[in-house]
Structure 1
Amino acid sequence: MISRPRNNLITDVPGIRVGNVQNLDQRTGVTALLFDQPAVASGSFPGGAPALRESALLEPEMIVSGIDAVVLSGGSTYGLDATSGVQAWLREQAAHLPIPEKQVRVPIVVQASLFDLVNGGDKDWGRYSPYAELGYQAAQAAQNGDFALGTTGAGTGATTTPLRGGLGSASAMTPSGHTVAALMVVNAVGTATIGDGPHFWSAPFEQDNEFGGLGFPSRLTENDLRLRMKPNYVAGTTIGVIATDAILTKAEAKRLAILAQDGIARGVFPAHLPQDGDAVFGVSTGHAPAPASVEVWTEILHAATQVTARAIARGVYEASPLPGEPFLPTWSERFGALKQGNANHG
């Protein structure tokens, strides 16, 4: 049986810190995940329109053995500037450490961005985008333990087809004792909710009323299964990180990310469209033993799909209104009176 760790967040995986920063007027933001020690990582990027930085080095055949941070941001390709800010902060923190002769310290940071450029925010930021500074601030804010969900960090300007999107997270403990957790930013072209109603596609995996406790509809209608998309074919994406404390190889981290993509397909309908930039980084912090058998490894992969789907629903469920002209309603604004319990981060 898969159980839920205490915080139900990606920081339940030892060795991960998360920082969020946002500009509410611009309706965008940055989320930085920092690792206490370089983490083994790879990725899966099946979306048709990904915005990525340094993703090639994650392939198992590449020489880089560990990364220092993952950055998630708004801003489409403008947002990829956020990596520069995170690198700058990491370089400052390491400045006091001795460097072996004739070697240069280069923090290894990878990134995925989402498209939030037409969400009603003020994007007239001048010659250079604000994302390098936002990235620096997000790294500076990174901490262990609890952090906010919904309209925060990279999820600040996120939208889905009928509702505001957001940043979500969920975690699980496998029967063999490994922690598996996801942090997802939901800006999908498709929908996280079913038809015109309040139910989440992720409902079969929900734990402890974490996104309203409404369950799954008793049956799906033709209208529920109808294609719903953002108007004018506006680009979108679901991006995030799936992490475990188990010791993994880079090839195994890639498989972890692939199984998390199954979680996207269970939490968003449809997923992986040409306009989507769906991207997941698979991360191992190595604080627990490697899987001792194929059965233990399969438990971790099984949990990866479920926590990803749950994190997607939590991101939409926890979204809050933004100041200024409304763009899309939040789940709570439309359906909050129906929820069976109040999800929390504890």
Structure 2
Amino acid sequence: MTNARNLITDVAGLRVGNTHDTALGSGVTAVLFDEPAVASCFVMGGAPGTRETDLLDPDKLAPAIHSVVLSGGSAFGLDAASGVQAALREKGIGFAVRDAIVPLVPQAVIFDLLNGGNKDWGRYPPYRELGYEAVQKAGLDFSLGTVGGGYGATTANLKGGLGSASAVTSTGHTVGALVIVNSVASAVIGNGPHFWAGGFEENDEFGGLGLPGKIEPEKRKLIWKGGPQPATTIALVATDATLNKGQAKRLAIAAHGGLARGLRFAHALFDGDTVFAASTGRRPLKDEPAEFTEITAIATDCLTRAIARGVYEATALPYPGAQPAWRDCFSKERQG
């Protein structure tokens, strides 16, 4: 069952802020936790760009974090977390170390440096200020597609973007996913319009086309971004269930299955595929093994759906020769 928003913010205890620069062709998405959240992370791509992920391992000291940042900019975009940190510190949010306030803000980035935007930013990239601005815009409702960290995202054949989805488990735990789809591969079967995620769709959230009757071998032909350039799908899955760091790590690992189902293909040499997992701790687990197993399965489904929603909701970038959006190519199929 999906929630009314069908966004990761259906998970109580978190908000999402998005900002982007149209001329730059890139942006930042910041997830803010109302209280420090137990979190972990798992990287399966061969070309990741990350910050502060080691502290998320279950054997590390940090008990929780204050934000997760998903942004464009490749290695330059890692400055975004500094802007988020600055904004949180101004609000007095962070762990107190004597007189110091230290917000913990892990981050992952996508490679969007070749999408047509103006990346001649001078001495310092603009991502620190974009991160700061994203915090100011954080709320429960937000748009999908060509926004925030998904503004400059592309896939092998269609415009990528920011996607999200949520669901409720049989025992009442809310689960959600947030993803930037910037994959080296494709989110659609063959030349489209059907999404690889079609079998998991809820309430026509990405066009209601379902799956074709049979996926012929030619429709499984590999389509990937031309030439050796990095590409990445980065995500956060979250739940209101109370988890420890070990369980959060297992949730992040399991949720990578959503990338494999929503894309053809994932976890490749040029991918930086990274999934964070977080618990806002609002609802304790009662039958721990059974409830946690269902959470991992539903989170994987949500990430699969979020990938298709990110591509479905995207609009083409405003540059000559920009990659077309799904809606540009398949509006007739969407209308029925």
Q: TM-score, normalised by structure 2?
A: 0.98
8 Å CA contact 2:235, 2:275 repeated in 1: yes
1:31 aligns with one of 22, 29, 32: 29
Q: Distance in 2 between matches of 1:129 and 1:256?
A: 33
Q: Distance in 1 between matches of 2:95 and 2:110?
A: 37
Letter in 1 for 2:130: L
Q: Distance in 2 between matches of 1:105 and 1:23?
A: 30
- 1:6 CA displacement: 0.9
> Any idea what SS the aligned residue of 1:339 has?
helix
Partner of 1:135: 131
- 1:340 CA displacement: 5.2
1:113 aligns with one of 109, 116, 130: 109
Partner of 1:183: 178
- 1:291 CA displacement: 4.7
CA root-mean-square deviation: 1.4
1:332 aligns with one of 303, 323, 327: 327
8 Å CA contact 2:20, 2:151 repeated in 1: yes
Partner of 1:82: 80
Give the number of equivalent residue pairs: 336
8 Å CA contact 1:247, 1:291 repeated in 2: no
8 Å CA contact 1:59, 1:250 repeated in 2: yes
- 1:321 CA displacement: 2.2
- The verdict on how the C-alpha distance between 1:25 and 1:178 changes in structure 2, with shifts beyond 3 A counting, is same
The unaligned stretches of length 5 or more in structure 2 are none
Partner of 1:344: none
- The verdict on how the C-alpha distance between 1:98 and 1:73 changes in structure 2, with shifts beyond 3 A counting, is closer
Q: Distance in 2 between matches of 1:286 and 1:136?
A: 26
Letter in 1 for 2:4: R
Q: Distance in 2 between matches of 1:89 and 1:120?
A: 30
Question: Where do residues 302-313 of structure 1 align in structure 2 (5 Å cutoff)?
Answer: 302-313=297-308
The unaligned stretches of length 5 or more in structure 1 are 342-346
Q: TM-score, normalised by structure 1?
A: 0.95
- 1:103 CA displacement: 3.8
Q: Distance in 2 between matches of 1:206 and 1:9?
A: 14
8 Å CA contact 2:96, 2:102 repeated in 1: no
1:159 aligns with one of 154, 163, 170: 154
2:285 aligns with one of 283, 287, 290: 290
> Any idea what SS the aligned residue of 1:220 has?
coil
Q: Distance in 1 between matches of 2:313 and 2:133?
A: 23
- CA deviations 1:180-218 (Å, max 9, x no partner) are 000000000011100112000011100000000001010
Q: Distance in 2 between matches of 1:85 and 1:33?
A: 13
- 1:290 CA displacement: 2.3
Q: Distance in 2 between matches of 1:5 and 1:332?
A: 25
Calculate percent identity across the aligned residue pairs: 54
Partner of 1:204: 199
2:89 aligns with one of 91, 110, 113: 91
